[in-house]
Structure formats: structure tokens, C-alpha cells
Chains A and B, each alone.
Chain A
Amino acid sequence: MPSLTINGVPVRVEEGTTLLEAARFLGFPIPTLCHMDGLEPYGACRLCVVEIGEGSGARLVTSCTYPAVEGLRVRTASKRVLRARRMIIELLLASSPRSRTIQDLASAYGVRQQRFRQENEDCILCGLCVRVCKEQMMAGAIGFSGRGSKRKIVTPFDETSEVCRRCGACMYVCPACQLRCTCAEPERALCGACENLQPPCTERHDDMMCYMAPCVACEIDRD
């Protein structure tokens, strides 16, 4: 059971606990975009950075992936942390301004402008959809392809996936795209279940594990 201090408050946690879990246990707020309880931590959005170490050895690490280690001194809201966090929010705002989640974050952290060239990307590549599909829905229908600025989330070879059962979990967890269902533009849609307005899921699966409530297809079927 490692014991550590978070913002000066001593805490003892179980082996394997992350800094994020420990800080939230004590009630210290840490914003996250790519984290969700029940999914493997990934460390993509970098919002949850906290400062560890002392003096010249002090550094920022993502609390969602960093394990609680004996004797660690953690600061969740130091100047350095807040400065970094504001810059991350500014970058997010510059790329995905339409997300309500990101707008709320900007408001909470007093980020009132962004100084970069405006983009409208929606997806922030946090990978929540990839992980929920693989770890909770046991499908693994989507994944990352490409690297750097060419990175995107796709089905294998960009073709309709055979293992996808249109459960909608990917859209449910997404923190960025407010227009989650893109069935109006089937070529951009990962899912596309409503295209034929048939409930494909119920035919194939006893347990739908469906997040798309109300689902257009189900509603129609019920009528």
C-alpha cells in the first residue's frame, strides 16, 4: 500500500491505483477527456497532467496513466500545471470548437480566446471509442490508422466492419463530436445502422448492449 501526498494531503492507496484515482478520491478535481472508468488508461489528451517531484527534477505526467508510488509528492493545480492545461485547452478549442465538452472546459479554465488558425476537426483522437469497442463491447471493430496529422479512427481498411454490431457505444462515449450520429452523411459514418431503418442488432444478438436510446430503427420496428 503506497502512501503519497497530493497537494499536501497524505493518502494511502492500494497498489496499482493511478494518481487520477487517488486525487479524485480526495476530491481534487482533474479534468479529463480520454479517461473513462472501466476502460484501460491511455494518456492521449494530456489534460490530466499533474506535477510530481521537487526542484529541478519536477515534471508533469498524466495522472491517468501514472501509478501511485511510495513517497510521491503530487500537485494537481500548480502554476505549471494550470499553464500547461490552459495551452492544451486553447489547442483543443482551435481544432474542435464545436464540442460542448471542450467549450465548457475552456469556460471553466478561463480560456477566452485561441490564437491559432481555426480548424473544425471534431475528433480529438482520444481513443475512447476504440477502447470501449474493444474492452467493453468485445468487438474491436475500429482502431487507429496513420500517424501524426494523418492519424484517424477507422474500421479495418476503411470498409464496413463485419464485427461491428451497431451498438453505438462509440458515439455514446465520444467527448468531442456533438453531432454524434452522422447517418445523414453515410460516407462519414462509422455506424450507418439507420440507413435501411432495420434493426440489424436485434436479429443477430440476444443481448443488444445498445447505447442508442432511442434508436430510430428500434422505434420503427416497435410500431
Chain B
Amino acid sequence: MISGKLDSLTALESLRARLRGERPRDAAVIVIPAGTCGRASGAEEIVAAAEEVIQEDGLADRVLLRVTGCHGWCEMEPSILVEPRRTFYPRVKPGDVPRIVAAAACGTVAEELLYSDSKTDQRIERQEDIPFYQKQVRTLLGRNERVDPTRIGDYIAEGGYGAFARALHQLAPSRIIEEIKAAGLRGRGGGGFPTGRKWEMLAAQPDGQDKYVVCNGDEGDPGAYMDRSLLEGNPHAIIEGMLIGAYATGANRGVIYVRMEYPLAIRHVAMAIEQARQIGLLGDSILGSSFSFDISLVRGAGAFVCGEETALIRSIEGEVGEPRQRPPYPVQRGIRGRPTLINNVETWANVPVIIEEGAERFARIGTPGNTGTKIFSLVGKVRNTGLVEVPMGITLAEIVYDIGGASATAVKAVQTGGPSGGCIPARMFDLRVDYDSLQAAGAIMGSGGMIVMDQGTCMVDIARYFTRFLMDESCGKCFTCRKGIQRMHEILDDITNGRGKPQDLDLLEELALAVKDTTLCGLGQTAPNPVLSTLRYFRDEYLEHIVNRRCPAGVCTALVSFAISEDCTGCGRCAKVCPTGAIAGERGRRFRIDPEKCIKCGACRDACRAGAVGVVPGPERVERKGRGCPA
């Protein structure tokens, strides 16, 4: 138990020594990742099973249990990691737990439950030896494995708040900013603005009244959850980063803004703030110094645009989340008119690492100008879905093929940077993943979403999907964002429905460039990216839709037809499920689909046991409706 406030550096260090001393020395530790992703795949049952086994078999002094946040490999969850051997068990079922616990207690391995590599067919014991982990540099995610996010003691015993204590007692604020600048840290939310320079600007603002530092946790990209895993798995690292930032810039107030859709992250952050306050790491005169700082938690109200910093400020003030013109920049005039520094979750999490390890060591990872690691959420058509943390400057091929395990023949493109990112075709996968290369290729780093697409993905449909998302999420203040995105969606919708006209592509491009040029905030300025990048790299697919009225990927229902092949056994199941009675035939012979009646719902394909119902990307007569002036 930890009680009382820490009033000095020595008090923190002696607490750390005590916590470390209390840990049993040669006990095995069963580590179970139970972030939102883990819980969704049943991690809580595994935790309950492990608790029961440890209790019943009286192993409490030999086997410890640690419930942590996400480790990254969501595809294999619920998983168990056994320390100190670092044995990794994927997709654990509650029934497997007794064997794993027994093996852990004797320091052995439950061989048959280990991960088996599909390429070599060999079982691999240690997590580090698994191909998924081999190319990763897990500076941040690796820490998730070592702490229970609900216990500040875990974090302190692992050296937590040591970087802050060192900064507070040994480094002058200007020295800390120099360190961050030397490390070359750039904003991980997507913009890539040098963090040190931002800090310097806040530090230059006059002291005396309130100054704010804000953690932006309004992660809204579909399919991206890097920030969630950090907030859930290691909230104290964020608090420590903010403490260092506040001390370096002279800020006295902190805000962590977490989107409402992350209940577990909100719970863990709220607990962490409370715990830090109780032992005096937040509040007045921290660690006996003259530095005072406190953090409040603000829950987002469900708008994507609130991730934009001026909209975020308005949201924190309790107003409608709507961006405004910069300048004045938030660092000049932010929350309630006071200077405000906003950094992304991942940026804050990197701060203690830099102070702890030194700028030089941090800068050695990655490439010059793009230092450190970046977490990506790798989803879509890959074998290893999950969060991957890689050094900046790694190639897309390494992420998609080597880490993600995607098949090189099937992959068509990867979409980086969330809904407002761009699609990069497979032939360009030797592209280095850093802020500048991605930008040059028409995509963005964004906060780190990475969606892998294969030959079964229609690029026009993808552009339409993302445009739809952005159309719904546009705040509507800017006329060109509100109407421009709506019109882009309208044209894309026409194309995917077979109503496209050849001149549509030029209009689409013209409109996209105007939207990019004339909108106020990042949402509007990047919204045309999915359209422009697919037009740039997959123009032939657009033309197929418009000229030949064919969807090559077989996705756009208006441009495909359903047909029954010779494999048909004549069972008649398809005819039975068809809602429009479009399928007819004699039992025992090949059935036929009447294209006039078929509504392409796909029920027949799902019902067919012989796999005889297929999608043919074929020409089809469509009713033509024009757009434009009626006159």
C-alpha cells in the first residue's frame, strides 16, 4: 500500500525501492492483456480462470498475475505472456489456463499451446522470436506489458515518474526543451510539427496567469486505436509526460481530453489522475518543489472534428466543437483565452522516454528528421491485425508483408492516415514511412491508421466510403467543406452506381482541389486525399466504372451481376432464400438467375453449399440519370 504524500525526491526513490523489494524474486508472472480489444475476445474469462487456478492450487507465492493493457497483437487475443521466460501463448481458451499456470509454476512450457508459425510450421516459444515482433521496436507498447494500469505502484516500481523527478530536480526548464528539440520529436497526431518548438513557444508566453497543457485523446479515425491502447494501458506515462511538459513550459493546468467512446480509457485515466493526486505527484508543491500542476479529465462528445486543436479548445470550454482561424495559435490564445499547448497522446508518452534515455539515444532510432518510433494500427487484409510499433523510416513492405504477414500477390494498396489519408498502391511499397515521404506520395501519416486492401477491394468504393464518413463528420461551418464533400460523395456515389459520366473525373478533381485549398481546418484540407490519391493511382478503375460500367473488384452491386456456375448441384437452396423469386430451375439441374428480378442481395451466394454462385463484374444496363442544370 502507498499512503501519504511524497514531499521530496528521496521520498519517491525510497517508495520505489520499497515497492521493488516487495516483489517476490523468483515468481513467474502471468501477463494477460485486457484492453478493450482483449476484453472483446474474452480476456476477462481468462483472467478469472487464472485467478481461480492460482488460488485453488495454492500457487500464489510462485505465480503472480498481472492484468495489463493491450500489447498490440490483437489478432491473437486473448493471449498470455509468461515472464521471466517471455513465453507467448496465443488465442488462449479458459480450458488451457490450468496447463499454462502449471507450466509457469515449474518454469516449463506448455509446448502444444505455443504459437505456430504458418510459414515454417514451427512452434516458437519466446515472444521476441515471433516474426510479428521481430521488426518492431516496442519502446512504448513494450511498457504496456510491464504495468497494471490501475496501480500506480507498478508504474513507480518500473522506474515511473523517475524522468519527471530528474527533470524537476536536475534540469532547468530551458534544458528540458533543448533535450526534446535535440531528440527531434515531432507531433504524433499527424501534423508532424516539432514538439520542442511548440513547447518553446508556450514557454515564451508571459507567466503569471494560467497556462494550459492538453493531451489530445480524441482519436476518431475508423479502425485506428493507438491512443486508446496507451491511455488504457499506461495512463501514468501520459501524466508523467504532461508533468514534464508543464514544468518545462511553466504551465499550471492540464487537461486530458478523451473521446467518450473509450470508457475503459476514461476509467483508467481518471483512476491514474486520482492516484497521482493522492501521493502528491499532482497538486501544489509537487515533490517539495515550488512547481504546482493539476490535470482534469474532459470527455469528448463524439465529434471527429474535435481532434482539430481549435475545435478541441472550444469543446473543452463547453462550446460546440467548431474550428476557428489560426493565427492566433492556441499557444497564443487557447482555452479561455490563455496560452495552450496541445499534444497528442503518443507524443506525451514519448516525453518520459526522451528524458529517461537521453535525446541522443532517442534520435538514434528512425531516420534524421523523423526520429523515434511510431505506432500504427494495422488492419484490413493482413494476417496479423493489431498495433505495431516500428522505427520511423521503415518501408511499407516491411510493415505490410513482414510484420502484417499479408500475401504479396493479393495486396493491392494500403490506406494510411485514417479517413483523410491517401491510398498507396502495392508497387510503391518500398516507400519509407515518415512524415515527408508519405506527404509526397499524396497520403499522410495521420495518427497512424493503416488499412491494407486486397484485390477484392474497389478503390472507387473506398473513396466513397471515406468521403461519406467525412461528410457526416464535417462540422458544417465552412461552406466548401460542407457542400464540397457532399458533392464529391454525390459524384462517387453516381460512379459506383453506374451513373458516372466521363467528364465526372475532371469535375471531381477540380472540386477536390478547391476543397483542399479553401477550407479552414485539417478536416477539410485533407478530406480530398482519398479521392485525389485514388484518382492518381487507380484512374483506370474509375474509368472501368464509367466507360465499361464494370466494377473490376466485384464490389459495387450496381455494376456486377450474380450468376450460377456449372458447379451447381441443383439443390434449390438458392431459390428458396431468394427474396425476389429471381432464381428458378429444376431439381438436380443447374439453376438460373433472372437478372431483371435479381436485387443482388447476395443471399443465394451465402446459401450455396457448392460455391456455385459467383459475382461477375459485368456490364449491365442501368437507368441513366443526369446531373447538372436541368436546362
Q: List residues of A whose CB falls within 8 A of some B CB.
A: 41-46, 49, 59-62, 65-67, 69, 80, 83-84, 87-88, 91-92, 94-95, 113-118, 124-127, 144, 146-151
Contacts and interface: CB of A to CB of B under 8 A. Distances in A.
Contacts of B324: 43, 65
B483 interface: yes
A83 B484 CA distance: 14
B539 interface: no
Contacts of A44: 477-479
B396 interface: no
A148 B629 contact: no
Interface stretch (B135-143, B267-275, B399-407, B514-522): B514-522
20 contacts: A43-B478, A45-B479, A60-B517, A62-B325, A65-B325, A66-B327, A83-B514, A84-B518, A88-B479, A91-B479, A115-B628, A117-B490, A118-B630, A125-B476, A125-B479, A147-B305, A149-B476, A149-B486, A150-B476, A151-B475
Contacts of A126: 479
A65 to B, nearest CB: 4
Contacts of A88: 479-480, 514, 518
| Residue from B473, B480, B486, B490 with most neighbouring chain A CB atoms (10 Å) | B480
Nearest to A92: B479
Contacts of B507: 115
B536 interface: no
B629 A61 contact: no
Interface in B315-354: 320, 324-325, 327-328
B480 A43 contact: no
A114 B479 CA distance: 16
Given A60-B518, A87-B511, A125 B482 contact: yes
A61 B474 CA distance: 19
B166 interface: no
B510 A87 contact: yes
Contacts of A46: 478-480, 518-520
A114 B630 CA distance: 10
A60 B519 CA distance: 9
Nearest to A124: B479
Nearest to A125: B476
CB-CB nearest 3 A-B residue pairs: A151-B476, A65-B325, A87-B514
B478 A91 contact: no
Contacts of A113: 628-629
Interface in B417-445: none
A43 B477 CA distance: 8
A207 to B, nearest CB: 30
A127 B471 CA distance: 20
A151 B484 CA distance: 15
Given A61-B325, A65-B325, A125-B482, 6 more contacts: A94-B487, A115-B507, A115-B628, A127-B477, A147-B476, A148-B471
Interface in B590-631: 627-630
Contacts of A66: 325, 327
| Residue from B484, B517, B627 with most neighbouring chain A CB atoms (10 Å) | B517
A148 B479 CA distance: 10
Contact of A80 (B478, B480, B490, B517): B517
B518 A116 contact: no
B472 interface: yes
Given A46-B519, A61-B325, A116 B514 contact: no
Contacts of B242: none
Interface in B448-494: 471-480, 482-484, 486-487, 490
Nearest to A33: B479
A116 B487 contact: yes
B479 A116 contact: no
A148 B487 contact: no
Nearest to A112: B629
B163 interface: no
Given A91-B487, A116-B487, A116-B490, A147 B475 contact: yes
B303 interface: yes
Contact of B517 (A45, A84, A125, A150): A84
A25 B475 CA distance: 33
Contacts of A127: 477
B472 A148 contact: yes
A65 B486 CA distance: 25
Nearest to A149: B486
Contacts of A41: 325
A114 B628 contact: yes
B520 to A, nearest CB: 6
A116 B485 CA distance: 12
B473 to A, nearest CB: 7
Given A46-B518, A116-B627, A91 B476 contact: no
B29 to A, nearest CB: 47
Given A66-B325, A87-B510, A114-B628, A148 B476 contact: yes
A117 B625 CA distance: 10
A147 B627 contact: no
A45 B486 CA distance: 16
Nearest to A151: B476
Contacts of B474: 147-149
A88 B518 CA distance: 9
A190 B573 CA distance: 58
B120 to A, nearest CB: 48
B75 to A, nearest CB: 34
A84 B514 contact: yes
Contacts of B520: 43, 46, 62
Contacts of B472: 148-149
B454 to A, nearest CB: 31
Given A46-B519, A84-B514, A91-B484, A116 B477 contact: no
A116 B476 contact: no
Contacts of B471: 148-149
Interface in B175-189: none
Contact of A69 (B327, B480, B484): B327
Nearest to B484: A91
A49 B518 contact: yes
A80 B325 CA distance: 20
A147 B320 CA distance: 10
B627 A117 contact: yes
Contact of A91 (B303, B305, B483): B483
Contacts of A83: 514
B462 to A, nearest CB: 20
Contacts of B478: 43-44, 46
Nearest to A146: B476
A119 to B, nearest CB: 9
A41 B327 CA distance: 13
